Structure formats: structure tokens, C-alpha cells
Amino acid sequence: MTQAAFNSFLVALLLVPAVTFILRRWKKARVIPSSLLLLSLITGLFVAGISFWSGKHLAVDLSQWTPFPFALSIDRLSAFFLFLICVVAVPVTLFSSSYIERHYAGARRDWLWSLLPLFLMSMVLVVTASSAFAFLFGWELMTLFSAGLIVVDGDSQERRHNIFIYLLMMHAGAAAVVAAFLLFVPQAPALDFAQMRTSIALMPQSFRTAVFLLAFTGFGTKAGIIPLHLWLPKAHPIAPTPVSALMSAVMLKTAIYGFVRFGFDFLGPGPAWWGYLVLVAGGFSGVLGILYAIGEHDLKRLLAYSSVENIGIIYLALGTGLVFQANHAPIWATLALLAGLLHCLNHAIFKGLLFLGAGAISDSAHTLDLEELGGLLKRMRITGTAFLIACCSIAGLPLLNGFVSEWLLFRSFLAASGLTTLTGATMLPLAAGVLALVGGLAAACFAKVYGVAFLGRPRSDEAETACEVPRPMQIGMVLLAAACVVIGVAPGLVLAPLSATVQEFLPGAAMPQEAASLSAVIPWIALSVAVLVLAIASVRRIKRLTPTWACGLPALNSRMQYTATAFSKPLRQVFSRAYKPNRTVEVLPADQPYFPASISYRSVRTTSFEKSLYQPAIDAVVITAHRLRRLQTGNMQVYLLYIFAALIALLMFMRWS
Amino acid sequence: MTIAINVVQVLMLVLMAPLVRGVIARIKARIQNRRGASVLRPYSDLAKLFHKEDLVPPSASFVFRLAPVVMFAVTVVAAAFIPVLRSSALLGIRGDFFILVYVLALGRFFLLLGAMDGGSSFGGMGASREVLVSTLAETPLLLALMSLAMVAHTASIEKMVLWTTGQDFFELSAVHALAFAAMALVAIAETGRIPVDNPTTHLELTMIHEAMVLEYSGPSLALIEWAGAIKLTVIMALLVGLFLPWGMAATFSLPAVAIALVLWLVKLGGMALALALVESSVAKLRMYLVPDFLGVASALAILAVVFTALMR
């Protein structure tokens, strides 16, 4: 039954582009592609849900029709990530059914409806693949389809440049992933996942370390850990909003899936430094990601940087898990993995919601510049309330889902004080300080976002005349907001099957008691807060509308409000080392500094990674290319000489090896 | 019986909170050679504010009036984490300090939003400054609590208090001294006292918390003021519970509970005196020196954690 449903889910995803193409001229059939996609995703959600909660394994083997072994199988880990994809994709599709119709027409609309299901399909392939070829096939398609979806929104010079960087880094990452798979060939020539798992015992330690490092860089590039994050704030903001939502919420998680498969499932326990490497990378990404986010006032770029931060939190959890595993503490490793995997789901939900909210804002206020927004909550009550829930979740506040995973991570840091190694017992508890800082900065960042965009007075005419978005877009956001609350108040619903998931691939794992203790206390807190809030709010407070006193001026206007830039100024000042801004102030005319006619101020922030890490590498490549050009003389005789020399070299190599 | 005492504890913290503020203000006045207002003054202030009307800017949304309510509700819930008379609390056994810290953060988040909903410059200014202080205070607070939890091998506040009760005061480790120092600095920053913030100022150059709540009036302001007082009392009671818990009632007998109450009041009074002394003898810091102040707290907290790990 579920098997048949899964098969039809895959087929339906492939059918959507065909249906879109066939019906493209028939105006009345506009709803058919979106409805079909929605239907298939709901099927997928059920399939994933059933096999995640019940632990039922599914498998599809297409190897007899394909030239290489192409098999899919769903164990609990795959089911969890499939669930994650569908749980975000359903509301996003609902949202898009209205958003795409409003903003795209003709061929661009058809392209979106054709590429969107294929993009989803490729992600489904990645998380369900059980052979290396199927995995890599999906992995490459995922990059290409997402790049295609970005191109639909236009291909100006700047966008092309950004897409180029995206494709370049993705392929560099994919090369590392391919290499990680190829290192398994001596032991498991078919590169079947089950075979790879069993053959790991035969693999020498140096190979295992190499596999780990390749997987770390390969998947790290896709996940966007700093300093491999460069593409992320370039590619995510320029995609059509529903695609940005899917890229940030779901696509990054496929990299986490891959890393968990390699790091925990295939490789098994390794040396502790693997864990510390991941931990440090996570800490850096977390702190720097959210600092860059605070400095942004373009909403989508801000959200992209905040994805870097959340990936950092997930890597902190995975690193902690690896350290525990190396120290033979499987139950604590379960706790850390629960934190990491649950944060994947949580981040998918609230980041999807935030991107959809950004779409709703750009739909009704026609801008995503925070400095042009303001007062949207009064004009868009449903969107505003859903966005508020997402902001509270991402800030890690209790009673919402973000808190649950951060709490689990805090508790696994605390559990580390019981480790026997001194490094573990100091490093991990201190990492709690890093997580606390990240949490505090995230709260600051999203207080800024919400306070500036949705509260106060409108800062532009567009924001003033904004109105609520159509019903399907609202429903999409409300569904995700509801998911935030459900997981936040009843974390046990997800934690129980999730710890069963971890037990499937982590030997010795068991449900940690911390997970149960949170489920026991959170509902009580939720109940008491709800009762208190309702009780106090029901006491009638006499209310009088009156304009704010403007210190004697006629009236306050929106220019007197604090801006997003002003709000983040103290934090940017304190953490100025992370920003390294390049400021220029120009006062005109120059001979009258105290009585200027105009002052212009520019502050440009180039991230130091581009300057000090990537630029030298690019320069080196270019210089080497220039040097190599000398080989290409264009003279036929010289080329013949090359061939002859190569032949001699090969013969000599064959002779002596 | 346990539940009854636990409920009484929460009510005590909630109802006595304005008194704590009144006492601190009175001691400060005495140190400054003034007579000072009655210690019951905060109660009459609250009563007056509750009878007034809420003035709401026309541009404000529902968040403006929701924020004080949420702030008050979560602060009361936070009070349910703190053991006072006995080493138990309503939410104490499973409620660990991470939840306590983040429950308080929820209230602050809403107050930030409420401040920005007023639509004037002051709200944003106050929110922006408050966010700086609270962000930097979070790390030392959690790390200091972490070191105590590592020593006591538990994260539950109740069990941490119980563990300290079982120790000899003179045998407490250096970790406790470091953690106490870090937490005292954080407590000053979190509750907006001098030298980080001045609760009595209304000068735009210096105010942090007051700028945030400038647009609030009437019952909403009363809720914020009351919640602020509860938060101060909760943090003081947490410090007492974690570092000076001796004298808490071990049994349910009336004398034991009475002695615990008297001792607790004396300890709280001592902390109020200390706070008033600090506030009267130190000048407020320039805002960009606050990170240094909290940096010291972070360094102390990091040392506390490292020492705990080394001492095992």
C-alpha cells in the first residue's frame, strides 16, 4: 500500500511538467499542475510519515532498466528527510499556486511549474537513494534544476555572475562527494549503500579519514558552512521566492542528510578530532552567519545568512555527536543527533515560513528592503502573525520548535561534562557559550526584522498601502506556523520516532532521558503561560488612542523612527571586527566642512573571505592558466612533439610499474 | 502540602517583588542622606497606574498591548522555577536553568517588539540598546549556570539547590566564587541597574530600559513595572538559592518553614543592601563600555567552566 503510494508519488512528480506543457495553452486548466503537484506531495507526506513513525522500510529498484545500479530505499533516516521535504513543499506549493500566477505569466510560469516538481524530485532522489549512482544523479540534478529556477527570474549580467559562482562551488563540492564515494570502490565495487556500510571494517584508517574529510568539504559546500558559504547569500536571494524557500529550507538539509549518512551511518566511530573539526566549523558558521545577517537590511539576503547560522547550529550538534561517538557514549550521541536532526526539521519549517513571509511582503509592499517597510502587521494580520511565530521560533524562544532543538543541544553540551577526556569535558560545555551567543544574536536579528518590517509606522507609500495576500498564500503560511507551535508544545511527537531513527544507524543508541523530561515540562509551561496571558488580557483595560508626544514638534513622522541600520548599529559596533566595513564620507563642498551642502555616506562590506581566501585562490588559478598558455603555441609540430613525449612517458611508466 | 508551599512561594515572589524595589530605593535614599519614600511606595504606584487608561499610539498594532501581558505572564512562570522556602519549586524538578533563562528571554523579546511598535525614536533606541546588553549577557549567564550544573551533576534548579544545601559553606569550591561573580555582574545587566543602566533616568543619551517603555502608560506600564520587579526578585532569589541556600526548611513543620522564611528575608535584604551600595558608589558606564563589563563576566564564567572540568 505505502509502496504503491510511494511509486505513484514519484510518477506524479514526473507527470507535472508534462501536464504543464500539454495544458499550457488552455487557460482554464491553470490550476491542474499545481493541484497535481500538491496531491502528489501530500501522498509523499503520508508515505514519509508512515514509514518515519512506524519504521516500515520501502524500496524501489530500477537497476534492470538503467545502465548503472539505480536503487531507492527508505529507511527511517530517509523517511525523516523525505518527511521534511514534503512538510515544507506542501505549504510552499499551496503558496506558489497563488504567488506564481500573480507574478509570472506565459513561458516563465510554465517553466516554474515544470522545474519546481523536477527540483523536488531531485531532492527526493538524494534522500532516498541507496546506491551511489542514484545519489549522485539526484545531487547533480538538484544543482541544475535549482540554477534553472533562478534563471527563470531573469538573467542580467549580475545574476549570471551569481549563478556562475553557485554552479562552480556546487560542482567543486560535488567533486568532493564523488571522490568520497570512489574511495569505497576497492571494498564495495557496486557502491551500493548496504555494501558500503558492511565494507567499512575492511577500509584502512587513512582512507576513512580521507572519506570523512571529503564528505565534510563536499557536503559542507552544499550546506553553506563558513568559509564555503560564499554562494549561499548570492544564490538564495535572487531565486523566485518559493524557490528560495525550498533552497534554504530543504535543499541545504539534503547536505546534512548526506553528511549524517557518511559520518555516522557509513563510517561509524572515528577519532575525536573529526567531531572537533565539525564543532569548530559549526561554531564559526553560527556566530559569523548571524552577525552577517544582522548587518543586512535586504530581507532575503538576511534570511540567507541566517540559514548559514542555522546550519552552524546543526553542525555544532553533529560535531558533538561525533565526539560522543568517538568517546563511546552512544546515548549522549543520540541526544546530540536528536538535537541536530530536529533542528533540520525545525529550520526547514520556520525558514520556509520566513521566506514565504518575505514573498508575501514583496507581493503586497513591492520591496524587500527593511528600510522601506513598517507597520505591516496592521495591514496583513494573518501574514504578520505567522511571521511573528516564525521569528520567535528562529530566535529559539520557548513554546516554539526552535527552542526544543537548541535545548537538546544545550543538554548534550552539559552531558559532555561527564566525558573522561579533558578536551571533551571543557570544549563541549564551552560550546554552550557559543550557542548562547548565537541564540542571543538571532533574537536580536529577528527582533529587528519583525520590529522594523511589521511594527511601528510605514516607512514608504508602498508599505502604507500594503494589503493582505490571497487566501492560498495565507493558508501556506498558517500551516507552517501551526507546525512550529505543535513541535514546540509537544516535542515528544517527533522526538520518539526520531530517536528510533538514530537507533537504526547508531549502535548502542537509546532514547535519552532528557528528551522525555522536556516533553513532560513544556506542556505545563505552555498551559500556565496561556492561562496567565488569557486571564490578564481578559481584564478590561481602558484604551485611548492618542498620538505619541513628539517633544513639541507637530507630529511624528516615519523618518523619526529607528531604522533597521540604526537598530543594529550597537551590535555592529561591538562586533566590528567581523564586518570590516569600508566607509567613505563625502562632504560637499570640500572647503566648507562645517556648512556642507550635501553629505554622502557609503558603507560597503566585502566579506573578508572573498578578499583573503577566495581572491588569492582565483588569482593563483588565473596566473597558472596564463603560464600554461605558453604550452599552447598553435604550432602543429609542437603538438606532435607533446603527443610523442606523452607516449614515451607512458611506455616508460608501463615498463617500470 | 508540597504543592501548597510551592504555590505560596510563587505568590510570595510575585507579591513581594514591588516591596524589594521599595526597600532598595529606600536604602539608596538613606545612603544619599535623603529620607526617601515609603517602602510600600511601588504598590501605590502600581495601584495608581492600574486605575489609569492605556494610551495607545494610533499606528500601533495588537503587539503593543500584548507585549506587557506576555512579559508579565512569562515572568510569573519564571518565578515558579525558583525554590525559596524549601528546595522545591512548582516547575523545579524538571525545569532546568536553560528553560528558565529562555522563558525570561521570551518576555524580553516581546517587550522589544512592543517598544518598536510605538513608532517613535525612543522605542527603537531603547530596544536596540537593550538587545546589545541582553545578547552579551546570555553567554556568561548560561556558562556560569553550566559550571554549577557540572559541579552538581544535574541541570534541574531544584536539585542544584539541594546539592549546595548538602555542602559545607567553607568547602565550596572556587567554581562557586567565580560563578557567583559572573552571575552577579549579569544580574546587574539583566535587571537594568547601575552601572549598566539607570532605572531612574529619563535622559535620552543614557536610558536603555526606560527608553523602551517610554510609550507605555496606565495598566500596560504597571504590568511592565511589576514584571520588572518580579524579574529582579527572581534573579536575586536564584542567586540566594544557588549560592546561599542554607536554612531552607528540610521538613514540613511550621517552625522550620518560619525559620526558612525569616532567613530568606534576611538574605534577600542583604542582597538588596549590597545592590544599593553598588548603585550608590559606582557611576553608570558609557554604553560602549558595557561589552567590556559583560566581557569580564564572560571571562569569569569561562574560567568557572574550565575549573570545573579540571577539578573532576
CB contact under 8 A, B116 and A533: no
Rounded to the nearest angstrom, the minimum Cα separation between A237 and chain B is 26
Q: How far is A549 from chain B (nearest CA, A)?
A: 9
Of B268, B278, B272, B276, residue with least CA distance to B244 = B268
B101 contacts B146 by C-beta, under 8 angstroms: no
Q: How far is B52 from chain A (nearest CA, A)?
A: 8
Show residues of chain A in contact with B129, CB under 8 Å: 570
A391 CA: distance to closest CA in chain B (Å): 10
**Which residues of chain B have a CB within 8 Å of the CB of A455?**
60-61, 63-64, 113, 116-117, 119
Q: What percent of chain B has pLDDT over 90?
A: 72
Torsion of CA B104, B107, B111, B117, to 10 degrees: 150
Residue B54 forms contact with A (CB below 8 Å): yes
* B77:A430 CB<8 A: no
Residue A479's contacts (CB-CB under 8 Å, 6 or more residues apart) are A90, A91, A94
Q: Name the residue among B56, B109, B309 with its Cβ closest to that of A422.
A: B309
- As a whole-number percent, the residues of chain A with pLDDT over 90 amount to 71
Q: What is the pLDDT of residues A605-625, one digit of tens each?
A: 666 777 788 888 889 999 999
Q: What is the least distance, in Å, from the CA of A376 to any CA of chain B?
A: 9
**B55 to chain A nearest CA, in Å?**
5
Flag if B53 and A543 touch (Cβ within 8 Å): yes
CB A369 within 8 Å of CB A431: no
Which tens digits make up the pLDDT trace of A267-287?
988 899 999 999 999 999 999
Query: A438 with A578: CB under 8 angstroms?
Result: no
Q: How far is CA A256 from CA A147, A170, A287, A463, in A?
A: 20, 15, 19, 38
Contact list in A for residue B98 (CB cut-off 8 A) is 407, 410-411
Task: Specify the pLDDT at position A606.
Answer: 64
The residues in A 402-421 lying below 8 A from B, measured between CB atoms, are: 403, 407, 410-411, 413-414, 417-418
**Mean pLDDT over the full length of chain A:** 92
**Total beta-carbon pairs less than 8 A apart between chain A and chain B:** 248
A545 and chain B in contact, CB less than 8 A? yes
Pairing outcome for strands A582-588 and A58-61: unpaired
Q: How large is the average pLDDT for residues B208-228?
A: 93
Element (H, E) at A185: none
* One-letter identity of residue A13: L
Write the pLDDT tens digit of every residue in A416-443: 988 888 889 999 999 999 999 999 999 9
Of residues A549 and A142, the one with the higher pLDDT is A142
A388 touches chain B (CB under 8 A): yes
Question: How many Cβ atoms sit within 10 Å of the Cβ of residue B109?
Answer: 27
At residue A629, the pLDDT reads 87
Confirm or reject contact between A21 and chain B (CB < 8 A): no
Q: Determine the pLDDT at residue A607.
A: 66
Place A447 in a pLDDT band, splitting at 50, 70 and 90: very high
Mean predicted confidence (pLDDT) in B8-32: 94
pLDDT attached to residue A106: 85
Alpha carbons A136 and A114: distance in angstroms, whole number:
22
Q: Which amino acid is at B162?
A: L
A578 — contact with chain B (CB < 8 Å)?
no
Q: What's the confidence (pLDDT) of residue B204?
A: 79
- Which set of grid coordinates corresponds to residue A449? 526584522
The pLDDT of B166-193, averaged and rounded, is 89
Asked, as a colleague might, if the bond just before A589 is cis with ω within 30 of 0, I would say yes
Q: Is the pLDDT of residue A603 over 80?
A: no
Residue of B nearest to A528 (CA): B77
pLDDT over 80 (residue A541): no
From the CA of A512, how many Å to the nearest CA of chain B? Answer: 14
Is the Cβ pair A443, B113 closer than 8 Å?
Answer: no
Residue of B nearest to A291 (CA): B135
pLDDT of residue A383: 96
Q: Is the predicted pLDDT of residue A401 greater than 90, yes or no?
A: yes
If you average pLDDT over residues A40-63, what whole number do you get? Answer: 92
Tell me what pLDDT residue A87 has.
96
Which amino acid, one-letter code, is at A357?
G
Q: Which candidate from B53, B59, B62 shows the least CB-CB separation from A456? A: B59
Query: What CA dihedral angle connects B282, B283, B289 and B291, to 10 degrees?
Result: 50
Helices A272-295 and A205-223 cross at an angle (nearest 10°) of 10
Strands B54-56 and A543-545: parallel
User: In the prediction, which pLDDT does A297 show?
Assistant: 87
Nearest to B91 among A397, A411, A524 (CB): A524
% pLDDT > 70, chain B: 100
Interface contact A451, partner B, CB < 8 A = yes
Residue numbers in A near B149 (CB within 8 A): 414, 417
| Per-residue pLDDT at A586 | 82
Q: Which percentage of chain A shows pLDDT scores above 70?
A: 100
Q: Please give, one letter per residue, the 3-state secondary structure of A281-327.
A: HHHHHHHHHHHHHHHCCEHHHHHHHHHHHHHHHHHHHHHHHHHHHHC
Residues paired with A73 in a beta bridge: A59
Contact status, residue A316 vs residue A283, Cβ threshold 8 Å: yes
CB-based contact A574 B132, cutoff 8 Å = yes
